[in-house]
């Protein structure tokens, strides 16, 4: 599987995406990207390279100046039920409990309360938050808040899960734990994941496809396929020689974009 697109269905495609702010600031330029289904794609780049902008274009939150995003061949117009987003700052409602926050997406879709809570409790258990259903976000640690955000994104059962630097606001130990839990979760839930990160290690550790964006204006500099064996013990991934090689390789290609 040298080229991720050969053997798997392409679920999402960006074609020649360009984003220009205030008529002169070019944030993204000619971004064409294939996202394979049920794989994890990382968008990696230095800060300010437009990676979050690209994710928000894919989410439908930002209209690109040029180009299109297609999900299963159909052009998107704004956010849709096929895509859910996990936010960098968690975006939890401070006045709502974990249960209410997790059920928000279902509530927005008009799912009746009983069914909503059933589904929410299920995912709360799946992300490891059982016992915290009635807590408010300010009573939770950063890691738990992001688990709540993840559970909320999972309840709506979208095929594509978008994550905007999901683990950047938590400490290193918690980040590792969340990364491992995400990999374990993806073994159960078959999802196409696109996540944005500035961490090379995180990208190589988690992703099947790493898209490297160059600095301003953001455009694709390289695409790397880690091909790391994740079927076995995930604790061993960081010890694989392939993992260390790749981290080095990506760093050397990314170095020139970091000023």
Partner 1 sequence: MNFFSFSRLMRRSPFWSLIFWAAVWELVGQMGWMTLLPPLTDIWFAFAELFKQTAFWDAFAMTARTFGIGLGLSIAVGIPVGILMGISNRADKILSLWVNLFLSAPITAVIPALMPILGIGDATVIATVILFSIWVVIIDTQAGVTHVKDSLVEMGRIFGCSRWKIIFWIIIPSALPEIFTGIRLSVVRAVKGVIVGQIVIALIGFGGLFNTYLSYFLMERFWGLIIVVFIMSFTIIGLVEMLERRIAFYAKTR
What does residue 193 show for φ and ψ, rounded to 5 degrees?
-115, 130
Tally of CB atoms within 10 A around 100: 19
Verify binding: residue 76, partner 1, rule CB under 8 A: no
Q: From the CB of 110, what's the least distance to partner 1, in Å?
A: 10
Q: Choose one: 5-13, 44-52, 90-98, 213-221; the region binding partner 1 (CB under 8 A).
A: 90-98
Beta strands at 220-224 and 74-75: parallel, antiparallel or unpaired: unpaired
- Give the residue with the Cβ less far from partner 1, 79 or 131: 79
Verify binding: residue 50, partner 1, rule CB under 8 A: no
Q: What is the DSSP letter of 158?
A: -
- Give the residue with the Cβ less far from partner 1, 83 or 230: 83
Among the listed residues 9, 16, 63, 89, the single contact to partner 1 using CB under 8 A:
89
The residue behind tokens 């990160």 is 197
Verify binding: residue 108, partner 1, rule CB under 8 A: yes
Among the listed residues 33, 85, 99, 186, the single contact to partner 1 using CB under 8 A:
85
- Give the residue with the Cβ less far from partner 1, 78 or 232: 78
Among the listed residues 104, 167, 195, 205, the single contact to partner 1 using CB under 8 A:
104
Q: Tell which residue, 18, 39, 36, 15, has the closest CA to residue 27.
A: 18
Instruction: Answer whether 32's CB lies under 8 Å from 220's CB.
Output: yes
Q: From the CB of 2, what's the least distance to partner 1, in Å?
A: 34
- Within residues 142-201, the interface with partner 1 by CB under 8 A covers 152, 156
3-class state of residue 85 by DSSP: strand
- Give the residue with the Cβ less far from partner 1, 81 or 131: 81
Q: Which two tokens mark 137?
A: 């976000």
Please report which helix (H) or strand (E) contains residue 118, including its range. helix 113-126
DSSP per residue, 124-141? HHHTT-TT-TT--GGGS-
Residues that bind partner 1 (CB under 8 A): 56, 59-61, 78-81, 83-85, 87-89, 91, 93-95, 104-105, 108-109, 136-138, 152, 156
């Amino acid at each position: 599987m040298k080229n991720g697109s050969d053997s798997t269905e392409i679920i999402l495609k960006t074609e020649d995406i360009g984003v220009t702010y205030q008529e002169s600031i070019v944030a993204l330029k000619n971004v064409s990207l294939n996202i394979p289904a049920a794989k994890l794609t990382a968008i990696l780049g230095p800060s300010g390279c437009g990676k979050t902008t690209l994710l928000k274009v894919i989410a439908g939150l930002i209209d690109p100046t040029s180009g299109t995003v297609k999900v299963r061949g159909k052009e998107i117009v704004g956010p849709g039920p096929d895509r859910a987003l996990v936010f960098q700052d968690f975006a939890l409602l401070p006045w709502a409990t974990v249960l209410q926050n997790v059920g928000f997406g279902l509530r927005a879709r008009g799912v009746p309360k009983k069914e909503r809570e059933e589904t929410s409790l299920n995912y709360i258990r799946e992300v490891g938050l059982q016992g915290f259903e009635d807590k408010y976000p300010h009573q939770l640690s950063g890691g738990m808040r992001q688990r709540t955000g993840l559970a909320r994104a999972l309840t709506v059962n979208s095929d594509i899960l978008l994550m905007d630097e999901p683990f950047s606001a938590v400490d290193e130990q918690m980040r590792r734990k969340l990364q491992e839990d995400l990999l374990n979760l993806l073994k159960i839930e078959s999802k196409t994941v696109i996540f944005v990160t500035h961490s090379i290690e995180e990208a190589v550790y988690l992703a099947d496809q790493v898209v490297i964006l160059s600095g301003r204006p953001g455009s694709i500099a390289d695409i790397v396929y880690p091909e790391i064996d994740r079927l076995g013990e995930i604790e061993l991934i960081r010890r694989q020689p392939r993992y260390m090689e790749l981290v080095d390789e990506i760093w050397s290609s990314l170095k020139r974009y970091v000023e």
